[in-house]
Homo-oligomer: A and B are copies of this chain.
Amino acid sequence: MWERAMATMVDVAREAEVSISTVSHVLNGTRNVETKTRNRVLKAIEKTGYRQDVLARSLRRSKTDSIGLVVSDAGEPAFAEMVHGVEQAAAERGLTLLLASSGEDAGREQRAVQTLLNRRVDGLILARAANSDHDLLAGLQREKTPVVLLDRLYRDQSLDQVGADNRESMRALVAHLAGQGHARFAVAAGDTRVPTLTERLRGFFDAIDEAGLRRADQLVLAGASHSDIEDSLAEGLSERSCTAVIAASTPLAVAALRALERSGLATPADVAFATFDGFNHPDMFRPRLTTVRQPAFDMGVAAVRLLVERLGSPTAVPQSVRLHQAIEYRDSTEAYGLDRHRP
């Protein structure tokens, strides 16, 4: 069989000796067609090796059955999980996923969104970059393309969005530690332009206040540079007498653990340690870190659900979904090392 251009509906129609519109209708099951005719068409499709051109179909219907996902960093395991969840949920609904990564860069993010919009995706899921352009969302609201915010949320709840219960999780974690007797914390809070991290920091202060501890006693390390945070923490750990260290994300945990190592401190013997998001297989390696686990996969799934619901009813009131994060307590916050810090 020689090289031949891809068969179109015209070829199928000719082969089956029917009109092109009949072919279309058996393809889409969009109107009744006599069984005999249908079988002729089916056979013709088989014979010609016809494959539907989704492009032409989309152009005509002005609907692409595809969604776009822009994440801030496809490399981060947590985001990779979200991508996975989005992909799976989208595939289940017959939606194709267009993926872009902004690399935490506002410019690339802006361009990625443009690209996907130009491709006429039916909807967009967006985990914004840390320095995301504020106008981006405003512009997006003006579009007719539905948008769902993922992980990196927006105070103004005029958009569909799905994230974790960051503030409450941090509050509960710190309350637990305070209950163990910890009174001086060091928090690697990170880039407070990232809403997720801001929320976690808020939760921290919630717990501090609740426990009747002094904010001034706490060592809060904010900033975009992880190495700066590492340095400050290493310094702060020797000067102050923090008994517990909390990292607000996995990269921050890496920085914090390095700082601990530089200070010659071990966990939990010298200092308690807990992290958000966390590492894979935390039970398999020492130290076993207490971790607030982000339900990343489920967040991706939920984002697709919200998006599909929005596609179904464009004027419904926006939803803001918060998924619960489980706190997995492990060795690194065992209380036995604590008494040595007590007066």
> Assuming the A-B contacts A87-B99, A118-B52, A120-B55, are A286 and B286 also in contact, with contact meaning beta carbons closer than 8 angstroms in the complex?
yes
A74 interfacial by beta-carbon distance below 8 Å: yes
Q: Which residue of B lies closest to A58 (CB)?
A: B55
In the assembly, what is the distance between CA of A281 and CA of B83, in Å?
A: 22
Contacts of A116 in B (CB 8 A): 96
CB within 8 Å of B: which A80-111 residues: 80-81, 83-84, 87-88, 91, 96-101, 103, 108
Q: How far is the CB of A341 from chain B (nearest CB, A)?
A: 24
A59 interfacial by beta-carbon distance below 8 Å: yes
Q: How far is the CB of A74 from chain B (nearest CB, A)?
A: 4
A229 interfacial by beta-carbon distance below 8 Å: no
Candidates B108, B112, B279; contact of A281 at CB < 8 Å:
B279
Contacts of A257 in B (CB 8 A): 284
Contact A101 B119 (CB under 8 A): no
Question: Which of A75, A77, A116 has most B Cβ within 10 Å?
Answer: A75
Q: How far is the CB of A75 from chain B (nearest CB, A)?
A: 5
A117 interfacial by beta-carbon distance below 8 Å: yes
In the assembly, what is the distance between CA of A115 and CA of B98, in Å?
A: 13
A322 interfacial by beta-carbon distance below 8 Å: no
Contact B74 A84 (CB under 8 A): yes
In the assembly, what is the distance between CA of A74 and CA of B284, in Å?
A: 22
Contacts of A115 in B (CB 8 A): 96
Contact A98 B101 (CB under 8 A): no
Contact A98 B100 (CB under 8 A): no
A176 interfacial by beta-carbon distance below 8 Å: no
Contact B77 A101 (CB under 8 A): no
A17 interfacial by beta-carbon distance below 8 Å: no
A53 interfacial by beta-carbon distance below 8 Å: yes
Contact B285 A286 (CB under 8 A): yes
In the assembly, what is the distance between CA of A284 and CA of B287, in Å?
A: 9
Candidates B55, B59, B101, B254; contact of A64 at CB < 8 Å:
B55
Contact A96 B98 (CB under 8 A): yes
In the assembly, what is the distance between CA of A53 and CA of B115, in Å?
A: 10
A54 interfacial by beta-carbon distance below 8 Å: yes
CB within 8 Å of B: which A23-67 residues: 51-56, 58-59, 64, 66
In the assembly, what is the distance between CA of A260 and CA of B274, in Å?
A: 27
Q: How far is the CB of A183 from chain B (nearest CB, A)?
A: 27
Binary interface profile of A, 236-275, with partner B (CB < 8 Å = 1, else 0)?
Answer: 0000000000000000001001100000000000000000
Contacts of A75 in B (CB 8 A): 80-81, 84, 297
Contact B120 A53 (CB under 8 A): yes
A-B contact pairs, 23 of them (CB 8 A): A3-B144, A53-B118, A53-B120, A55-B55, A55-B119, A56-B59, A74-B80, A74-B83, A74-B87, A75-B84, A80-B83, A80-B84, A87-B100, A88-B101, A91-B100, A96-B98, A96-B115, A97-B98, A97-B99, A98-B98, A98-B99, A258-B284, A279-B279
